[in-house]
Amino acid sequence: MFSKPIQFIAQRPTLFAVMIIAACVVSVSALAAVPKPEIPKGKGDRCVEDTGFMRKNHMELLLHQRDETVHRGIRTKKHSLKECIDCHAVNDNQGQPVSHEDSKHFCVVCHEYASVKIDCFECHASKPRVKKAGQRL
């Protein structure tokens, strides 16, 4: 049943090697063709931590801060989700901040690329609140 392909490899080893290499090149170029997400820039000069550190550890920081805030009332701004949302708000064509339902949203851009489903925004606001006169946020 498999004798024909084996016969082919045995008779033309060079041609087979060339075919294998060609297949590899095609698949690598296909990988490269997947566009890297375009990460929107936040406000201000720099993030509260290094970008590399944040990429790897933002979820740990948020988890830690969440327990500190809910149970102990510690509301420092540095690792607060609300501050992340404020700083990384992305505006739509009308100049209004987009919600997590929009693929342009800062968090969503990467999580869609990495295929990671987060449920933060089922409860938390995904965009800054529109400020009213005299209101502190």
Partner 1 sequence: MSQQENKIDEYRRRFLGKGAALVGAAALAPGVILHTIAHAKPADEAVTSKVRWGFLIDANKCAENCDACVRACDEENGITKFGRPQTDAQWIRKITLRNKQTNHSITLPMMCQHCEHPPCVDVCPTGASFKRADGIVLVDKHICIGCRYCMMACPYKARSFIHETVTGQAPDVPRGKGTVESCTLCVHRVDRGETPACAEACAKTQEGPAILFGDLNDPNSKIAKRLASEPSSAVRADFRLDPGVRYQGI
Q: Which one of 35, 73, 95, 134 is in contact with partner 1 (CB under 8 A)?
A: 73
- Please tell me whether residue 74 binds partner 1 under the rule CB under 8 A: yes
- Please tell me whether residue 128 binds partner 1 under the rule CB under 8 A: yes
Q: What is the dihedral of CA 35, 41, 47, 53, to 10 degrees?
A: 0
Q: Whole-number minimum distance, CB 60 to partner 1, in Å?
A: 15
3 state SS of 97: strand
| Residues whose CB is less than 8 angstroms from the CB of residue 42 and which lie 6 or more positions away in sequence, other chains included | 87, 88, 106
Residue with smaller CB distance to partner 1, 19 or 74: 74
Helix ranges restricted to H, 43-120: 51-72, 81-87, 106-114
- Please tell me whether residue 122 binds partner 1 under the rule CB under 8 A: yes
Q: Whole-number minimum distance, CB 136 to partner 1, in Å?
A: 7
- Please tell me whether residue 76 binds partner 1 under the rule CB under 8 A: yes
- In the region spanning residues 79 to 98, those forming contacts with partner 1, defined by CB under 8 A, are 82, 85
| Residues whose CB is less than 8 angstroms from the CB of residue 43 and which lie 6 or more positions away in sequence, other chains included | 86, 87, 88, 89
Residues at the contact surface with partner 1, assessed by CB under 8 A: 66, 68, 70-77, 82, 85, 122-125, 128-129, 136-137
